[in-house]
Chain A
């Protein structure tokens, strides 16, 4: 069992937890993820590592409620435990292996969308620790949905919040902010974009035009997360890659986003049913009452 030290609500449907997992905390690097399983009957869910404390032996995870399992997870409190917590999984971000001096010469732009701020944070923090100031754009639908703001501001060189509805910071999508920064004369050597697939797709379409090499962190459906099933496979150029072992980070200009987004929808009906069952509790009888629903 993996004990939850801290559980905190960051925004509507977005939660942060510190979980005791000494083996993961000892070995993880920015860019990697964990797989958590809540209880005996739970499913295995991949979550990016948001932060880690090697001495305390804890891992920070941030998740958004998007279905039955994450809604149930949100009910966990400090002192509760996850039945399973596996990791670190996937490859660390490539820059972890890079020579710090040559890294210092590069101008790097991080772009986070929604809950994607969580996986971007450890990377920006790592950069700060190496003495590298990077530009960070964080986008959210509204001001209330912007997460980890003070943390990000503390480690970013330049921090640019954006909201779709203009309630805070730059008004508009992250892509318009990227364009604006480039127009203002910023020349980026590399862009790292993490968020919903649709956002990563549009960032990549733009950065391809702007000729900025772009790294994305893919979040397909996963089961084991160790390379034994291929549920997370995707096309990168002409090659089939398993996101859990070959990634999750890939060259965004080579990823087939349309296929990847289609694959994310594979269990839409099943997920909808599970969600309905959870919301309706004992009153759940399946479906609308005419179609037979679950039967």
Chain B
């Protein structure tokens, strides 16, 4: 029997071994371990965990099914709320969502909800359990822009309601950040992402890749010329930020988006693919979010010595606790309270990064203690590669080519939270395109809301 105070431990690849490959770090539970962990759930009547889940999965209900070994039943329960459980079980920040609210967490460790969800979803993928689609089509056509978590969720939900849905994707692969951003070692592409998307296809959703909305066609044309009655925009926040410091255009400076796209989407880490990557021998990754951790751990696997350069302290690192832990185990070095001021170059190539030490001052408006530079504390870290991971903002391509679509000063599309309604009739939006860079599960929540909004709109039309 499981120790009620502690999670059933999950098997992982040895840090020394995994730092040299792109295989998944966490092996996940087997059925025995999952059923064991499931006994730790006390099936609360007023379950707090459900409130912590942005898509409101009936967590106690699915866990009770796992406890009894009815994995297919458990999958059906999750499927009512989530279109991508194999993804979310892996990448959600559960510590601040479902597991953060679990009663078990007060005296011991919370129930390992994410790992249980992952087990159930992987079981469904391995045993090819089909999702339940619509009984009949309702004759309405809806376009979804973007095949990331928001778009996939919205498309899946609408298909279940009987809509004829087409998803338009700008890149050559489906999945958005799930394929170009999150690395293979956290989220396997063929084994998990592609199969999860196949389940959305099985619901009848059509996909068209290589269509850049705003260029290949516009939202107005989709409505006027191609007969779509409503549109959901889930185009994400893919525009990278740079610091604007001297030397930033030197060879060897990359945005995390470029570095990760080359490695994840173009598979530059695999020699049989044509896209090159300048891996670097000594790499500085600037930033402290999940993307910074992903870039750092990717560079490490490509053979580099890697430093995370972050201007605040460890406590403020925005990345998931589990990922920071994994990065440290693998040998990523953390240079905290450190801020770059200049990138040094010789003949156009990076030779170092000049930084200044920081200390934490008074809390700012957001409540976080503001980092202040310590005068005269500049020093140089010798590196040949710098990866800028400072966050991203929405690409203005869609908003600038769609008449009557309101955006705020950060170029985020203005949409209401409950139903994703924008300033333009029949056009809904959600995910990072609305909120700016956030999490996969929040994007899924917004996709669900958008599907609900579109359903109400077309039902009343």
- Minimum CB–CB distance from B206 to chain A (whole Å) comes to 15
A27-B215, A84-B209, A223-B262 given; A228·B240 CB < 8 A? yes
Is B212 a contact of A240 with CB atoms below 8 Å?
no
Is B242 a contact of A240 with CB atoms below 8 Å?
yes
Residue of A nearest to B211 (CB): A23
**B: contact size bracket:** 35 or more
B170 contacts chain A at the CB level, 8 A cutoff: yes
A9 to B347 CA separation, bound complex (whole angstroms): 38
Residue of B nearest to A21 (CB): B210
Chain B residues closer than 8 Å to A24, beta-carbon distance = 216
Number of contacting residues on A, CB 8 A?
Answer: 41
Q: Which of B73-81, B155-163, B251-259, B284-292 contacts A (4 or more CB under 8 A)?
A: B251-259
Chain A residues closer than 8 Å to B271, beta-carbon distance = 294
A230 to B243 CA separation, bound complex (whole angstroms): 13
A100 to B251 CA separation, bound complex (whole angstroms): 42
Is A245 a contact of B276 with CB atoms below 8 Å?
no
Interface hits, B335-368 → A, CB 8 Å: 347-348
Chain A residues closer than 8 Å to B248, beta-carbon distance = 240
B193 contacts chain A at the CB level, 8 A cutoff: no
B333 contacts chain A at the CB level, 8 A cutoff: no
Chain A residues closer than 8 Å to B277, beta-carbon distance = 270
Chain A proximity mask over B46-85: 1 for CB below 8 Å, otherwise 0? 0000000000000000000000000000000000000000
A265 to B251 CA separation, bound complex (whole angstroms): 8
Chain B proximity mask over A27-71: 1 for CB below 8 Å, otherwise 0? 100000000010001111000000000000000000000001100
A86-B210, A270-B278 given; A223·B266 CB < 8 A? yes
B171 contacts chain A at the CB level, 8 A cutoff: yes
Chain A residues closer than 8 Å to B251, beta-carbon distance = 262-263, 265-266
Chain B residues closer than 8 Å to A68, beta-carbon distance = 274
- Minimum CB–CB distance from B201 to chain A (whole Å) comes to 18
The prevalent SS among residues of A at the interface is: mixed
A89 to B216 CA separation, bound complex (whole angstroms): 8
A276 contacts chain B at the CB level, 8 A cutoff: no
Residue of B nearest to A227 (CB): B395
Is A86 a contact of B249 with CB atoms below 8 Å?
no
Interface hits, B379-395 → A, CB 8 Å: 392, 395
Q: Which of A148-156, A173-181, A184-192, A231-239 contacts B (4 or more CB under 8 A)?
A: A231-239
A84-B172, A229-B255, A240-B242 given; A274·B276 CB < 8 A? yes
Is A43 a contact of B275 with CB atoms below 8 Å?
yes
Chain B residues closer than 8 Å to A84, beta-carbon distance = 172, 209-210
Is A37 a contact of B172 with CB atoms below 8 Å?
yes
Chain B residues closer than 8 Å to A274, beta-carbon distance = 274, 276
- Minimum CB–CB distance from B67 to chain A (whole Å) comes to 43
| Partner of A227 from B238, B242, B261, B262 at Cβ < 8 Å | B238
A43 to B242 CA separation, bound complex (whole angstroms): 25
Is A224 a contact of B275 with CB atoms below 8 Å?
no
Interface hits, B219-248 → A, CB 8 Å: 238-240, 242, 244, 248
Chain A residues closer than 8 Å to B172, beta-carbon distance = 37, 44, 83-84, 86
Q: A residues engaging B (CB < 8 A)?
A: 23-24, 26-27, 37, 41-44, 68-69, 83-89, 223-224, 226-231, 233-235, 240, 245, 259, 262-263, 265-267, 270-271, 274, 294
Q: List 17 A-B contacts (CB under 8 A).
A: A27-B215, A37-B172, A41-B273, A41-B274, A86-B172, A88-B216, A223-B266, A226-B238, A228-B392, A228-B395, A229-B258, A230-B240, A233-B249, A240-B249, A265-B348, A270-B276, A270-B278
